[in-house]
């Protein structure tokens, strides 16, 4: 499949603040052993997940996004009223409409921003960063608040062992700004989709195709349905290809990548992508063991964790890679 060409002379669009929020409640593999026929050994060996965070019933996706956004703005030392644009990547919006981004705008009182959501499943945060880059590079906005937030527990069937062991809740946010530091910030991205296999990963009911009904609820069609093996095979190929392609077209050797920040769906998928690049495991940021798969929030929280906790140095390269429902996949390269 053809990928769009590399960004030519990228303008400096940099991360100037980051924050994340994770619910306090922990759902362990031992808890799941009491809910479905599974085992800690199976889950750890097949996925690398030990536990995940679950939001309580009073907390929605936008509530978590607001908490992450406030931290990112504080870190960026940017007042909410000075935010120009808010993009929220999510597949678990509070409602069909309004957008979760508008609810975040209300929550943080960013009254001068415009706001919208992006739906690209687990690749959503990369799509959102790339979209924001184009707004910032064109000069249409001066800064942007980009969020990946999910309450996947709201669409997870805790009677289905094929899916319920995988997912968790959380939110991550970054503030992007166009700066004057040539050679820094977002350097390149690759966004790809293939709708032919959209049925591999979906929530069948609740949209216009199959509105909510007693039948749809009875048949448990408002939960994630997944063809796990197909998704796994696709994910390994897509993650390997996008990781290698973005590194090669930016003339980067594996040892020059400081942190790979991958989508956290399955540790085996992450390791396959890193191996294809020849990247040592010590340069991979993992959070799958403690948070599971948080869809768009996985890379958002991952990037925020790396920015806040890893003492980045000027010139460090951060490489985000993800795949998700759609099918969608992509990568984005940042030079610190
Ligand atoms: N505990 C115990 N056994 C299980 C469990 C479980 N939780 N889940 C499935 N099994 C069983 C299956 O029933 C199957 O049994 P069978 O052989 O008798 O049929 C057996 O384990 C092996 O199943 P596989 O599907 O072959 O297991 P696999 O090694 O592929 O791992 C997994 C399954 C972890 C789901 C893997 O396929 C995977 O990671 N797929 C990708 C998932 C993914 O990335 N999804 C993205 C969703 S993100 C989004 O967009 C919201």
The residue annotated as part of the active site, out of 88, 102, 122, 164, is: 122
Ligand 1 pocket, 235 CB below 6 A?
Answer: yes
Pocket test for ligand 1, best of 125, 229, 291 (most atoms within 8 A of CB): 229
| Annotation marks residue 197 as catalytic | no
| pLDDT reported for residue 3 | 80
| Annotation marks residue 122 as catalytic | yes
On whether the CB atoms of residues 228 and 162 are closer than 8 A, the answer is: yes
- Per-residue pLDDT in tens (0 to 9) along the chain, 336 residues: 778 889 989 999 999 999 999 999 999 999 999 999 999 999 999 999 999 999 999 999 999 999 999 999 999 999 999 999 999 999 999 999 999 999 999 999 999 999 999 999 999 999 999 999 999 999 999 999 999 999 999 999 999 999 999 999 999 999 999 999 999 999 999 999 999 999 999 999 999 999 999 999 999 999 999 999 999 999 999 999 999 999 999 999 999 999 999 999 999 999 998 998 899 999 999 999 999 999 999 999 999 999 999 999 999 999 999 999 999 999 999 999
| pLDDT reported for residue 2 | 76
Ligand 1 pocket, 121 CB below 6 A?
Answer: yes
Buried b (16+ CB within 10 A) or exposed e, 186-196: bbbbbbbbeee
On whether the CB atoms of residues 187 and 15 are closer than 8 A, the answer is: no
| Annotation marks residue 222 as catalytic | no
On whether the CB atoms of residues 115 and 102 are closer than 8 A, the answer is: yes
Nearest by Cα to 162 from 228, 245, 118, 218: 228
């Amino acid at each position: 499949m053809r990928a769009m060409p590399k960004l030519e002379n990228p303008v400096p669009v940099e991360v100037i603040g980051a924050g994340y929020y994770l619910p306090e409640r922990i759902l362990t593999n031992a808890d799941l052993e009491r809910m479905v026929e599974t085992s800690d050994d199976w889950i750890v060996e097949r996925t690398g997940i030990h536990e995940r965070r679950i939001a309580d019933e009073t907390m929605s996706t936008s509530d978590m996004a607001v908490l992450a956004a406030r931290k990112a703005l504080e870190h960026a030392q940017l007042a909410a009223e000075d935010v120009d644009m808010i993009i929220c990547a999510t597949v678990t919006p509070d409602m069909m409409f309004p957008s979760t981004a508008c609810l975040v705008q209300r929550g943080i009182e960013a009254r001068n921003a415009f706001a919208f959501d992006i739906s690209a499943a687990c690749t959503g945060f990369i799509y959102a960063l790339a979209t924001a880059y184009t707004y910032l590079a064109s000069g249409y906005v001066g800064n942007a608040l980009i969020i990946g937030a999910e309450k996947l527990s709201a669409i997870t069937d805790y009677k289905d062992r094929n899916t319920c062991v995988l997912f968790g809740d959380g939110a991550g946010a970054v503030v992007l700004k166009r700066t004057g530091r040539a050679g820094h910030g977002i350097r390149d991205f690759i966004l790809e989709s293939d709708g032919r296999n959209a049925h591999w990963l979906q929530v069948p009911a609740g949209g216009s195709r199959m509105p909510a009904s007693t039948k749809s609820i009875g048949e448990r069609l408002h939960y994630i349905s997944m063809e796990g093996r197909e998704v796994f095979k696709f994910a390994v190929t897509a993650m390997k290809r996008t990781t290698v392609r973005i590194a090669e077209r930016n003339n980067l050797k594996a040892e020059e990548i400081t942190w790979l920040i991958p989508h956290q769906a399955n540790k085996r998928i992450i390791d396959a992508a890193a191996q294809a690049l020849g990247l040592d495991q010590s340069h991979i940021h993992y959070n799958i063991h403690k948070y599971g798969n948080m869809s768009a929030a996985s890379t958002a929280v991952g990037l925020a964790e790396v920015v806040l906790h890893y003492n980045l140095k000027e010139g460090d390269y951060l490489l985000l890679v993800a795949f998700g429902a759609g099918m969608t996949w992509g990568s984005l390269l940042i030079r610190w």
